[in-house]
Amino acid sequence: MTRSTALLTDRYELTMIDGALRDGTGSRRSVFELFGRRLPGARRFGVVAGTGRLLAALRDFRFDDDELRYLRDEKVVSPETVAFLEGYRFTGTIRGYREGELYFPGSPILTVEGTFAEAVVLETLALSILNHDSAVANAAARMSIAAGDRPLSEMGSRRAAEYSAVAAARAAYITGFGATSNLEAGRTWGIPTMGTAAHAWTLLHDTEEEAFRSQIEALGVKTTLLIDTYDIREGVATAVRVAGTELGGVRIDSGDLPTVAAEVRAQLDALGATGTKITVTSDLDEFAIAALAASPVDAYGVGTSVVTGSGAPTAGMVYKLVARQDAAGGWVAVAKASTDKASKGGRKAAFRTLDEGTATSELIAVSDGFEAVQTASDHPDARALQVTLVENGEIDTAYEGPDGVQAARAHHARVREELPVKALALSRSDPALPTVYIDA
């Protein structure tokens, strides 16, 4: 049984619909746009994540008996609006950046077209999903860049709300992590899962050696043993004595990691365990990972930092009305003009200009009308960024489920190769690409 997503919204979405249905503007065709005014944390690029989850949530955006009863009992909207919501189905069109795509300030990440009443109500749902997932993806992409060819695992479920953890694992996988500790993420999204034992396992046994022997009996000699519950040097010696030189790996979860990793590698090699891998998992973020680039580390496990966006827990995206029909049926570009919160009106088409395969700008063609929208043929030296996700209410299933996750992961890997070298730096800076507006 699916659960309705219709009340995962703010009250004012429904009170706006209530007023618009009363005064007749609810049926006006409208264009909403989801975008970010700036990149969080002064980062050099952003990553779109959550699109597949949003499409699944849109499929379940229905006001069923329980939702309608709540709205009536709480007198949130009028009986007439309750009747409208009872038959609510999104029948419009959504175009947007593919999941895994890069974005920059002003990028029209989603364009939602429909009547005002059916499109405005999607604001909170779209923002809550994309702001969270893109924040995780933004952090995970930077960690992936810092890690280079070394594998990354996401293990932050204990630092996030239960279903936020599943979404975070998904976003991290799309942007370069290779596995997650979260089993629900594995089941739902087809992400490889990993994990062996925590410190509690070692503490449960009378000795560290007993713990290691029991783990090897259960999981085999290729398992990874956690060696820092007591004394790391003694832990390494015990691990090799118990498992032999074919031990798969050891994990370090504390200490001065560059120093400890070097000492552990030297000890393993001296004991003949030259093929035993070293994984580190102690409070890592992109900066700590980068600092370990020259250390003999084979893999990283990241928890708190990735699921909380590494200091930027939201992507800061907004959802604004940018065009609508007027009373006569003509199209009007509209924009908010508030200080520091201005938006740019008009329907938009987005392209990434390229010079011999390297991205040079985010080119956005703005149309005051509705039909005069530029296409890829207008910009032969650029890549069109928007695809149709929903057309006349029909969701493109290619972007959903585990297959959608794999497609997003592959797309992200491709488009990240387009970035100029300066975009890969971790320091605070201006966006790596300028956003350039032109009239369509």
| Sheet strand arrangement including 29-36 | 331-333, 317-325, 29-36, 110-115, 93-97, 386-391, 394-395
pLDDT number for residue 372: 59
Residue 78 is classified by DSSP as -
Give the domains, in start order, of the chain with CATH numbers: 11-136+312-439 (3.20.140.10), 196-297 (3.20.20.70)
Using alpha carbons, list the distances in angstroms from residue 35 to 26, 48, 96, 240: 23, 10, 10, 53
CB-count exposure of residue 219 (10 Å: 0-12, 13-18, 19+) = middle
pLDDT number for residue 369: 62
Task: Give the chain's radius of gyration (CA, Å).
Answer: 25
Using alpha carbons, list the distances in angstroms from residue 101 to 57, 97, 105: 20, 6, 14
pLDDT along the chain (440 residues), means of 10: 90 98 97 97 97 98 98 98 97 98 98 98 98 98 98 97 98 98 98 97 98 98 98 98 98 96 98 98 96 98 98 97 94 88 90 97 86 77 96 98 98 98 96 94
CB-count exposure of residue 19 (10 Å: 0-12, 13-18, 19+) = middle
3-state per-residue secondary structure call for 371-435:
CCCCCHHHCCCEEECEEEEEECCEECHHHCHHHHHHHHHHHHHHHHCCCCHHHHCCCCCCCCCCE
pTM score of the predicted model:
0.96
Distance (Å, whole) CA 38 – CA 3: 34
pLDDT number for residue 308: 98
